[in-house]
Amino acid sequence: MNPTELKTFLDEKVLAYNAPTFIETDPISLPRLFSEKRDIEIAGFLAATISWGQRQSIIKAGHNILRLMDYQPYDFVMNGDVSAIPDGPVYRTFNGTDLRYFILALRNIYITYGGLEKVFTTGYLPNKSIKESITHFRSVFISFRTPERSGKHIANVLKNSSAKRICMYLRWMVREDKMKVDFGLWKSIDAANLMLPLDVHTGNVARKLGLLTRKQSDWKAVEEITARLREFDAADPIKYDYALFGLGIFEKF
């Protein structure tokens, strides 16, 4: 396909998969349970943190986490008895120790730094850089106390991580369009500057379509493919995440 044909093809796939029917089978259904901004932010962050593997398993584990929080994520972050969170597995390598650390780190972020949006935005604004936003967030998150094992669950883009889960979380919080799949809650970060949540499926599809030449699915690959997607839509390049993901998951492209 030439570039015009490829854009038309991807635009059609965005229309197919950037739709409300996508929500119920995706981890974004977890923050969709809430209407208050801080509940959405926190539920979304925790859902994104465990978003690898089978989506049904992620959603089940996400409900288990929210159940521990009495389905009141912000209130639990601020006031809950974190010591009551049991040891043992929560989801794959994310366990009770990690969840306790995450809750206390989030409590510190809301008390000391003004919340998740403020932390991500503080890193983003100087150079309108998502890489710097993620870097700043990680430094704040692990500064609460020595993270021990839990730090591995927060991507380090300075070590060339693709940061797929954080990029997906930022898509949820920042992107807004008439389909109302993403939330569009955070207004100080421009959707034009978002980076693609690159995983195995989107990477494989992108390579087959000639959008990505880099073999590793790392931050350099994220920069490469996002630059290509901006050629198709400079204002909203990450809408094509829906096309690439849908082609990989649902169409086995």
Domain map of the chain by residue range? 3-249
Nearest 5°: phi and psi at 89? -65, 140
Phi/psi for 90 (5° steps) reads -105, -50
Q: What does the DSSP 8-state code read for residue 50?
A: T
pLDDT of 207 reads 97
What is the pLDDT of the chain when averaged over all its residues? Answer: 96
Three-class secondary structure of residue 89 per DSSP: strand
Per-residue pLDDT, 137: 98
Distance CA 32, CA 108 (A): 24
pLDDT band at 171, cuts 50/70/90? very high
Backbone angles phi and psi of 91, in degrees to 5: -160, 115
Q: How confident is the model at residue 252 (pLDDT cuts 50, 70, 90)?
A: confident
- Among the residue ranges 108-122, 138-152, 224-238, the one predicted with the least confidence is 138-152
Residue 143 pLDDT class (50, 70, 90 cuts) = very high
Q: State the Cα–Cα distance between residues 171 and 69, nearest whole angstrom.
A: 24
Q: What is the pLDDT of residues 1-38, one digit of tens each?
A: 899 999 999 999 999 999 999 999 999 999 999 999 99
Euclidean distance between CA atoms 130 and 80, whole angstroms: 31
CA distance linking residue 163 with residue 185, whole number of Å: 21
Residue-level pLDDT at 195: 98
In the prediction, which pLDDT does 148 show?
86
The 10s digit of each residue's pLDDT in 110-141 is 999 999 999 999 999 999 999 999 999 999 99
